[in-house]
Amino acid sequence: MSFQIGDTAPDFEADTTQGHIKFHDWIGNSWCILFSHPKDFTPVCTTELGYMAKLEPEFKRRNVKIIGLSVDPVDNHAKWAVDIEETQGAKPTYPMIGDPDLRISKLYGMLPASAGGDASVRTPADNQTVRNIFVIGPDKKIKLIMVYPMTTGRNFDEVLRIIDSLQLTSTHKVATPVNWRPGDDVIIAGSVSDEEAKKIYPEGWNAPRPYLRIVPQPK
């Protein structure tokens, strides 16, 4: 099964490093980042998990919960966390899902349904497609899907920027332009007519083209 932006994120129950969860209940009224890993004790993932531990306060400030997934048992995750802290200078305090039967990886379309169900006999290369980032909104809808190769570390500063854009555009009728950063000008959404825009922005806007209406970022 494959998913698109706007689809409901599949619900599931799973064991994590912080106990058993029902995914949708765990998200609650927060935003969520679910990011997956092909195997414990893999080098690129070790750096990623450590960096996310450092960034977690920034995500919390934005009402975003972080949860990882790796195709190994929860007990292995706890041992891996020691290595992450020693090598990256930060220990994950967010939960890590154990997926040794590949059930959740298959549910989210990261592995084919025919994939073997015993994680212990699978190599990282067997699970190389389990390198996804899903951003899920409080409405449990998928807002973003990113897929990375095993040899390229993920850019979680970019994910933080995307969260800022998603949260801004979910509450204001705007879109964010290329390389936007918080505080930069934004674009009035194409779904907003000029008549409606005049009510929202009585001071007007800069329009190098009729379809490109630029305004300061709403407060």
For residue 139, indicate whether it is catalytic: yes
- Name the DSSP letter for residue 82: H
Q: Which of 15, 32, 40, 45 is catalytic?
A: 45
How many angstroms separate the CA atoms of 188 and 9, rounded?
28
Residue 171 Ramachandran class (φ > 0 left, ψ -120 to 50 alpha, else beta) = alpha
Alpha carbons 198 and 205: distance in angstroms, whole number: 9
| 184 flagged as catalytic | no
Spell out a b/e string for 101-120, using b for 16 or more CB atoms within 10 Å of the CB, else e.
ebebbbbbebbeeebeeebe
Please identify which of the residues 139, 157, 184, 194 carries the catalytic annotation: 139
Give the residue numbers annotated as catalytic, written as ranges: 45, 139
